[in-house]
């Protein structure tokens, strides 16, 4: 089975720009969650998608938005980038959020905002 894949691996953007990060979930998983991990911190929950609908959101502003596609892959979009958005963005898929199955993380996208 293929694991969770994220692209790109690294990205450098300028403050005020917009960015789109992509994630392919593990085969058979219908739930995708996005996390932001600042250096030296634990992952912080951004939002979760289940069958193309957002079904949970953390304490992030509306300029963080997402999509899930029929094949369960997902995108994270961030508008009006700020310096504090520099972090590792992790996508995690799970078998089904209803049964509390474990999260399978991708390798992440390292975003640097200058």
Partner 1 sequence: GQQVMQIPQYQHVQEGEDFTTYCNSSTTLSNIQWYKQRPGGHPVFLIQLVKSGEVKKQKRLTFQFGEAKKNSSLHITATQTTDVGTYFCAGLNYGGSQGNLIFGKGTKLSVKP
User: Min. distance of Cβ 62 from partner 1 in angstroms?
Assistant: 18
Q: Residue 96 contacts by C-beta under 8 Å, 6 or more apart in sequence? A: 29, 30, 31
Identify whether the C-beta of residue 20 lies closer than 8 Å to the C-beta of residue 1: no
Span of 10-18, 43-51, 61-69, 76-84 interacting with partner 1 by CB under 8 A: 43-51
Q: How far is CA 30 from the centre of its chain?
A: 14
Q: Taking CB under 8 A as the rule, does residue 90 contact partner 1?
A: yes
User: Min. distance of Cβ 109 from partner 1 in angstroms?
Assistant: 11
Nearest Cα to 72, choosing from 98, 91, 44? 91
| Residue numbers at the binding site for partner 1 (CB under 8 A) | 31, 33, 35, 40-45, 47-48, 50, 55-56, 58-59, 90, 92, 94, 97-98, 100-108
């Amino acid at each position: 089975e293929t694991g969770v894949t994220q692209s790109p691996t690294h990205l450098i953007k300028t403050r005020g720009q917009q960015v789109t990060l992509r994630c392919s979930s593990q085969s058979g998983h219908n739930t995708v969650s996005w996390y932001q991990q600042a250096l030296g911190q634990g992952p912080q929950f951004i939002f979760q998608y289940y069958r193309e609908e957002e079904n949970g959101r953390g304490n992030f502003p509306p300029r963080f938005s997402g999509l899930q596609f029929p094949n369960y892959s997902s995108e994270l979009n961030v508008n009006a980038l700020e310096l504090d958005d520099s972090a590792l963005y992790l996508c995690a898929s799970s078998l089904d959020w209803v049964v509390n199955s474990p999260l399978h993380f991708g390798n992440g996208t390292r975003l640097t905002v200058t």
